[in-house]
């Protein structure tokens, strides 16, 4: 019998990759923790998500299975996750769960995998189980590596990672929205303009990139842009719909009182945080 532990962070969107398969995201320090136990007493792979014992565990089971398969180990064990990231919020709960499970499984085995290969393992599991349209390599990189990342999801290629220091405000409405339910055809209609936002991201003009991205995806996915306009009224430096919603993320200066109050008045929950620049793969401690 052996145990392993891992964690991975949530993330916010700069560029949603659904329209063009090119994306950008930044880590935020809200965490998903995974614990893995391996042993011959298990008949297969068992799983539990602490926040909802009836939740779909296919993603974390597939992550564990892929890691064990890579090292020619039998698919026998148990994985448990607990998370600070609301499911279906656009804050990359699936990428964090996948990364944390991969890391915990590697920890239980006692081996180290190249970090990008570890990320790609979780992406493969996300595609296999249908929880992601592109595999969300951008979100997975932001979750695992921290900082701001820019990726080509069609090739699972990391183009750039930079550390950035900024306060972040997150607006989390009560509604949920799942990426698998997204109207991809509508999203792809905005591809030419998302490419413009992507070029801004490549130039590290992240605030402008995410704001353009946010307005485009609000239109395509039929979300009200009112939270974005409220953020701009309160002098946010950049704001976007995060993922396929319903959450919004804003890069802000230290005084966030105005926007905090404005978003609070719209219902849901508002979180004060910052960009996380810490790499998740350096963590191997019991949660």
CATH number of the domain at 221, please: 3.30.230.120
Question: pTM of the predicted model, to two decimals?
Answer: 0.94
What pLDDT, in 10s, does the model give residues 145-192? 999 999 999 999 999 999 999 999 999 998 766 665 677 888 899 999
Q: Strand, helix or coil at 287?
A: coil
At 78 the pLDDT is 97
Low-confidence ranges of the chain (pLDDT < 50): 285-287
At 180 the pLDDT is 58
Give 86's contacts (C-beta < 8 A, 6+ positions apart). Answer: 93, 172, 176, 247
At 286 the pLDDT is 46
Distance (Å, whole) CA 172 – CA 43: 39
Q: What is the number of H-type helices and E-type strands within the chain?
A: 9, 10
Specify whether the CB–CB gap between 124 and 66 falls below 8 A.
yes
Q: Strand, helix or coil at 251?
A: strand
Domain that holds residue 57: 1-287
At 57 the pLDDT is 95
Residue carrying the six token digits 């656009």? 90
At 135 the pLDDT is 83
Average pLDDT of the chain is 93
Number of domains in the chain: 1
At 30 the pLDDT is 96
At 179 the pLDDT is 60
At 282 the pLDDT is 66
| Percent composition of the chain: helix, strand, coil (DSSP 3-state, to 5) | 40, 25, 35
């Amino acid at each position: 019998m052996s145990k392993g532990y891992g964690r991975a962070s949530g993330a916010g969107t700069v560029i949603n990759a659904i329209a063009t398969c090119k994306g950008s995201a930044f880590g935020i320090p809200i965490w998903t923790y995974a614990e893995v136990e391996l042993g011959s007493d298990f008949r297969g792979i068992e799983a539990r998500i602490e926040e909802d014992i009836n939740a779909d565990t296919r993603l974390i089971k597939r992550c564990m299975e892929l890691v064990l398969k890579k090292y020619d180990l039998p698919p026998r064990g148990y994985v448990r996750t607990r998370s600070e990231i609301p499911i279906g919020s656009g804050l990359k709960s699936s990428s964090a769960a996948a990364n944390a499970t991969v890391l915990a499984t590697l920890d239980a085995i006692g081996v180290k995998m190249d970090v990008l290969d570890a990320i790609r393992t979780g992406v493969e599991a996300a595609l296999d189980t249908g929880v992601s349209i592109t595999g969300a390599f951008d979100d997975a990189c932001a979750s695992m590596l921290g900082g701001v990342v820019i990726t080509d999801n069609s090739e699972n290629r990391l183009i750039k990672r930079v550390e950035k220091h900024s306060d972040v405000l997150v607006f989390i409405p009560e509604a949920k929205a799942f990426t698998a339910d997204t109207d991809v055809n509508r999203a792809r209609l905005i591809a030419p303009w998302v490419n413009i936002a992507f070029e801004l991201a490549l130039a590290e003009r992240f605030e402008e990139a995410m704001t353009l991205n946010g307005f485009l995806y609000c239109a395509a996915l039929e979300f009200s842009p009112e939270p974005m306009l409220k953020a701009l009224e309160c002098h946010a430096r950049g704001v976007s719909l995060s993922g396929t919603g319903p959450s919004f993320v804003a890069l802000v200066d230290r005084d966030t009182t105005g926007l905090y109050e404005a978003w609070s008045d719209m219902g849901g929950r508002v979180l004060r945080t910052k960009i996380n620049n810490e790499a998740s793969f350096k963590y191997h401690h019991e949660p």
